[in-house]
Each structure stands twice: as structure tokens, then as C-alpha cells.
Amino acid sequence: MNRLIDRSRVLPTPDPAQTVAYTPIRLEMPGRQPLELRLTAPAIGYGLPIVILSHGFGPSKHLPSKDGYAPLAQFWAERGLAVIQPTHASSRIGGLDPDLPEGPFFWRERVAETRAILDRLGEIERQAQAIAGRLDHDRIAVAGHSFGGHTCSLLLGGRLLGEDFADPRIRAGVLLAAPGRGGVVLTPEHAARFPFFDVDFSGITTPMLVVCGAEDDPHFTPRGPDWHADTFHDAPGAEVLLTIKGVGHGLGGIAGLDARETDVEDPEALEATRRLTLAWLRSALSVERDAWANGRAALRDRAADLATITASKS
């Protein structure tokens, strides 16, 4: 029982079940050190849907890796999803040398790492004895926070530098406080430093949930918090925009309570984020058809002060 939440408790969610976690799982990568992962999944059950959770480029030296985002990853795993967390090439603790040519952000390598996970799910299972044979390789979603949202937007169908990075094995996506449009909407300084933010989201047709913090005022652009909602407005596959009230980039603490990424530690907002993203994923991955509709109705009728939901344009 979480004594720190009250209003968010009305948002329906399954009871938690025991999980099992394996870390580090290592995948050999050509020309570099192995990619390390954490896999957390329900202790029992078969046909488990998979979510690959991509971390951001936050200030913590340790959390932007397979070892961060426990408030989100553990919550999802306790309620039926198998969560895979890579330590991306951009991670400070376990990534590549930031002085290498593609550093420090390694946006291409992050996409390649996620593809390696998709390619080698069988190898990952062989390193996780209690989970082996229990994952559903046909029900896969990606979720990413901040720069992790940039990684996911490419895998979902965003185009950059004339290239299409879409992976058809991915059935759904969740973008959490992800970057918006690049180029001329950025300040000149940030447009020069982050040319890879100039993503064309119009090619994203995979179903997607976009999550923003109402107070997430970016320093990349003078446009304000709505910049983080650009993917919702531009991507045909973006079904829902979920705006969490009273919080900024950390969405109440998804990277970790007391983490430097957590600008506002807000248990109610964090719980709303966890429950509503889970509900959308359970519906999108055909775990529980009515999960999202029930969560949306509960928010509207009993907890509207926590968040707003904007439906797709289509």
C-alpha cells in the first residue's frame, strides 16, 4: 500500500505480482564493448508482451542506464509486461567514449542497440533462465523518456536526414517528455548542437501515446511546454496526448525518486503516469482490451485534476 497517493488511486490498475529480474544480460556488439541490459518480468505466466524502455540523457552519472527508471519499469513488470532496459551508448556509466566521432549522444548507435535487442530476443531469453520461452516476440512496444523518446520516434517511423528507421516488429510506442521539432524552432545555439532533432514525424503510423508534463518548459526552444507535444500533432499514428499536471520533465519521478532527473518529486503525478501508461500499453498490446477506456473514464470522472487527455485528430 502506497501511503503517498490518494487521488490517483481511483485509476484502475491490476494488483502487483512477483517479478524476476536478470542483470547484466550482455549482447556482443561488433567493434565495441557488449551491450548490457536489465530484463524484468512477471515471475509466472507465458506469452508476456515486451516493452523496450529507452533512457534519456539526463544529468545523473548512474541512472541513465539499465539501472534507472525503476518506478516505471518495476510497476509495468509487476502488472504483466516484460521490460528490457539497455544501457545505451550515450550512458555515462556504461556507454561509449563520449569523445568518439558520434559522441556524446550516439543517436544512431542507440537505434542500432534497440534493433540488436529485437534481433536477439532468443539470446536474451537464454541468459534469463526463469523467463526463457515466456516472452511473446510478436507483441513488442518501445517506450522512451526524453532523448529515449527521440530514439523511439525513429524506430516508430520518424525520418531523419532522409533516412527511414522504422522497425515493423514494433507494435506500439510511448513517448515520455520527448523532443519536439528541430531546426528553425530551436534557438540557433541548440539547432547547431542538436541537428538530429530535426525529425520528420509524419511517417509514424504505428500507434503511439505521447506523454508530456504541463510544466515542462524546454531550454532548447522558446516555444514552451507544447514543444514536447509536436509528435502528437505531426504523427498520424499518435492516438493520444496525455498531459500530466503540475510536473515538468521528470513526470513526477519516473527516472527515480531523489534522482537529479526528477525536477519535481510528486507521488500523485508519478502514480497517474504509471497507471495510465500501463493502461494504454495493455490495450495496445492486446492484454486487456478495455484497460485504456477504463483508465480514461476514471480520470475524466474522478481525477481530472491530475491530467488531461487529448484524443487523436483522426
What pLDDT, on a 0 to 100 scale, did the predictor assign at position 60? 85
User: Is the pTM above the cut of 0.75?
Assistant: yes
Chunked in runs of 10, what are the mean pLDDT values of the chain (314 residues)?
A: 93 98 97 97 98 94 89 98 98 94 97 98 98 98 98 98 96 98 96 97 98 96 97 97 97 87 91 98 98 98 97 66
Q: Note the pLDDT of residue 258.
A: 75
Domains and CATH numbers, the chain: 7-311 (3.40.50.1820)
Environment class of 248 (CB within 10 Å of its CB; exposed 0-12, middle 13-18, buried 19+): buried
> What gap in Å lies between CA 94 and CA 97, rounded to an integer?
9
